[in-house]
Amino acid sequence: MREMRWRNNRVLLVAGLVLLGIGFGSFMAVKDQGGLDFTLFRLERWGRKTFHLEKPATAGEIREAKLRAKVATDRALAEFPDLRVQERNIPPEENGHLRAYELAKGEEVERLRSSSVLESLRKEASDFDAPAVRKELEAFEELGRDIIEVAELRQWSSTAMPDGYVGNFPSAGLKAMFDYLQLKSRVAAAWGGQ
């Protein structure tokens, strides 16, 4: 009888710990996803999409959503006027945003991305072979000059972007450019700033 009671208590204890863990994990996941409201919004969208319950928006609903977005935008801009987008006419050769966009989409950056040299960034200091990495980077010397030139530009504007630009940036190419700069810095630090 005592053994049965101990087993029942043990089962209750384990079940309680499991439920506590699930509850804490759920709390952390909700907090990490932007709060309860946003998590419920995403769950509802997921459910509608998964079970094909989503109805196309009517013209009236679209109009109402645009009106609500405009009201929210106007309220935010009234409170924080520095957020207002200001058109700036910057010559194309001095526009860092345009130059970075064009460079990140280029074939040379794609070649850099597909090379193995950028993997050296993830190596520990003891495994980092600065002379070998420096030798590998020589193949990208011209691209490197362009990346450094773009990084040094002080004026950035999305005003005069090319046709087809909708605000999306080729982030994989941009990350490769950042990684290149980090790798050059790491090699320079290993070689005493040379």
What is the residue-wise DSSP string for 131-178?
HHHHHHHGGGHHHHHHHHHHHT--B--STTPPTT--S---HHHHHHHH
Q: Do 100 and 154 lie in a common domain?
A: yes
Q: Are 143 and 108 in contact (CB under 8 A)?
A: yes
Q: Do 149 and 63 lie in a common domain?
A: no
How confident is the model over 46-101, as pLDDT tens digits?
A: 787 777 777 778 899 889 989 999 999 999 999 999 888 778 888 889 988 889 99
Query: Which one is predicted more confidently, 152 or 14?
Result: 152
Residue 150 has pLDDT above 60, yes or no: yes
Q: Do 45 and 105 lie in a common domain?
A: no
What is the reported pLDDT for 63?
92
Residue 194 has pLDDT above 60, yes or no: no
Provide the domain limits for residue 70: 56-84
Q: Do 74 and 107 lie in a common domain?
A: no
Query: Which one is predicted more confidently, 107 or 163?
Result: 107
**Residue holding tokens 């009234």?**
78
CB atoms within 10 A of CB 183: 22
Cα gap 103→162, rounded to integer Å: 13
Q: Do 98 and 185 lie in a common domain?
A: yes
Query: Which one is predicted more confidently, 118 or 149?
Result: 149
Percent of the chain with pLDDT over 70: 89
Q: Do 115 and 151 lie in a common domain?
A: yes
Which alpha helices (H) appear in 33-95, and where do they start and end? 36-50, 59-79
Per-residue pLDDT band at 7 (split at 50, 70, 90):
low
Q: Do 118 and 77 lie in a common domain?
A: no
Cα gap 167→158, rounded to integer Å: 8
The set of residues, in sequence order, having a beta carbon less than 8 Å from that of 117 and lying 6+ positions away, is 133, 136, 137, 140, 183
Number of compact structural domains in the chain: 3
Q: Do 42 and 105 lie in a common domain?
A: no
Q: Do 39 and 97 lie in a common domain?
A: no
Q: Do 71 and 131 lie in a common domain?
A: no
What is the reported pLDDT for 156?
86
What is the reported pLDDT for 27?
67
Q: Output the average pLDDT for the chain.
A: 82
Rg (CA), the chain: 27
Cα gap 133→184, rounded to integer Å: 9
Cα gap 190→120, rounded to integer Å: 13
